[in-house]
């Protein structure tokens, strides 16, 4: 049987990104219908997988001039690879994909993993004024390309409210954790209290609040430790963070300049005592559920979390964490809660896990209809 060619592409995510590779690509590969190509940022250690080809086309920072050539690079790649179906996860790959789709009569899926409009408007990635122009341009692009997109995948339930252009042709596919990825909890060989910050290292995700809390707890108990593991998209943030902790041997960073393999992050979760979900109040993330919540719940890792109603609904259901205002708290009380609270009085349910592979393989699902057409 001649397999069709499927390309799954992102601009800023690593070529082995956990959603694109471990979840989407591997799930689809089990149908046996596709030869799958993954496109993304260059990483040091590319997995070996006979059913999936890794194509690290991009190697630049978020604000690099090289990013302006992304569309041209990707369009050339499409004409060389000749895919039958394209799944893009970044807005700037829409136009080259649509051009290829029109000329070759192929299919296109837009996997919306972020609200780029809100990210631009409500964060400080770009100067005031410029970010508003960019945000309006991105939203106009997403609306204008609707007629050419066969289907949308939404990584958040609330995206169906935020993205009206996906109406009547979307499937919610939340970015949860694969059940097979859960690692057994590991007993620590020391008597330290290991705190953990995982994922993107960024100001609006509260990395500096995590550091400040750790410093305050350390003053009360020298057994406190913090491990920060993830990638910093902004070099200025990473430099600021390094300066902040340069004389603090109880705080360490893994990654920073480089992407960290997802399995290494999951191992850190299995080894930790408490996670820190220290997001700042921010309209760019207020309707999203951080993937780390699902990861912590699946690993029964207790965590401290900012007071977002959507997040607290999941947290309280399993008694998984302690709500904290990371800008106004009593460190003595927090330390007492960490020591005395009985967490996870009930097991995490199926709602924290990525949908079963059979979902992708079912021809009844609107999300996968293009795979069988």
Condensed to tens digits (0 to 9), the pLDDT of residues 92-140 reads 999 999 999 999 999 999 999 999 889 888 877 766 778 889 899 999 9
Say if residue 322's pLDDT is above 70. Answer: yes
β 34-41/52-58 pair status: parallel
Paired tokens of 124: 């400080």
Say if residue 360's pLDDT is above 90. Answer: no
Burial class (CB in 10 A: 0-12, 13-18, 19+), 71: middle
Asked whether this chain's domains 4-175+354-372 and 180-352 adopt the same fold, the reply is yes
| pLDDT (average), residues 330-357 | 90
For residues 231 and 18, is the Cβ–Cβ distance under 8 A? no
Give the percent of the chain with pLDDT over 70.
93
Say if residue 228's pLDDT is above 60. Answer: yes
Q: Under CATH, domain 180-352 is a member of which superfamily?
A: Glycogen Phosphorylase B; (3.40.50.2000)
- pLDDT category, 214, cuts 50, 70, 90? very high
Diameter over CA atoms, the chain: 66
| Domain boundaries of the chain, sorted by first residue | 4-175+354-372, 180-352
Pairwise CA distance, residues 39 & 297, whole Å: 30
The CATH number, out of the four listed (3.40.50.150, 3.40.50.300, 3.40.50.2000, 1.10.10.10), of the domain defined by the range 4-175+354-372: 3.40.50.2000
| pLDDT (average), residues 218-222 | 97
Give every strand in the sheet of 170-172, ordered side by side: 52-58, 34-41, 4-14, 85-88, 107-112, 151-154, 170-172
Q: 204 — alpha (psi -120 to 50), left (phi > 0) or beta?
A: alpha
pLDDT at position 366, please?
53
């Amino acid at each position: 049987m001649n397999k069709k060619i499927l390309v799954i592409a992102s601009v800023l995510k690593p070529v082995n990104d956990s959603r694109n590779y471990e979840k989407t690509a591997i799930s689809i590969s089990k149908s046996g219908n596709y030869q799958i190509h993954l496109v993304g940022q260059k990483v040091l250690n590319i997995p070996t997988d006979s059913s999936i080809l890794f194509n690290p086309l991009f190697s630049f920072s978020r604000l690099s001039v090289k990013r302006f050539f992304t569309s041209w690079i990707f369009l050339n790649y499409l004409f060389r690879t000749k895919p039958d179906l394209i799944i893009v996860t970044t807005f700037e790959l829409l136009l080259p994909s649509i051009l290829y789709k029109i000329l070759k009569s192929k299919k296109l899926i837009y996997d919306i993993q972020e609200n780029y409009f809100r990210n631009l408007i409500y964060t400080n990635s770009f100067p005031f004024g410029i970010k508003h122009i960019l945000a309006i341009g991105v939203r106009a692009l997403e609306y204008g390309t609707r007629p050419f997109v066969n289907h949308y995948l939404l990584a958040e339930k609330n995206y169906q409210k935020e993205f009206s252009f996906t109406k009547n042709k979307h499937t919610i596919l939340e970015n949860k954790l694969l059940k097979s990825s859960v690692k057994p909890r590991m007993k620590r060989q020391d008597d330290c209290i290991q705190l953990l910050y995982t994922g993107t290292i960024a100001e609006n995700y509260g990395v500096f609040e995590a550091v400040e809390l750790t410093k305050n707890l350390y003053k009360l108990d020298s057994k406190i430790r913090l491990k920060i593991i993830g990638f910093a998209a902004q070099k200025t943030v990473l430099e600021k963070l390094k300066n902040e902790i340069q004389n603090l041997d109880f705080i360490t960073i893994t990654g920073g300049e480089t992407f960290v393999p997802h399995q290494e992050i999951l191992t850190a979760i299995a080894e930790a005592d408490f996670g820190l979900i220290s997001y700042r109040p921010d309209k760019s993330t207020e309707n999203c559920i951080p993937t780390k919540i699902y990861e912590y719940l699946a690993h029964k890792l207790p965590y401290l979390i900012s007071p977002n109603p959507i997040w607290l609904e999941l947290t309280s259901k399993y008694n998984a964490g302690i709500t904290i205002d990371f800008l106004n708290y009593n460190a003595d009380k927090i330390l007492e809660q960490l020591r005395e609270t009985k967490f996870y009085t009930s097991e995490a349910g199926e709602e924290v896990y990525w949908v079963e592979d059979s979902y992708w393989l079912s021809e009844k699902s609107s999300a996968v209809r293009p795979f069988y057409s």
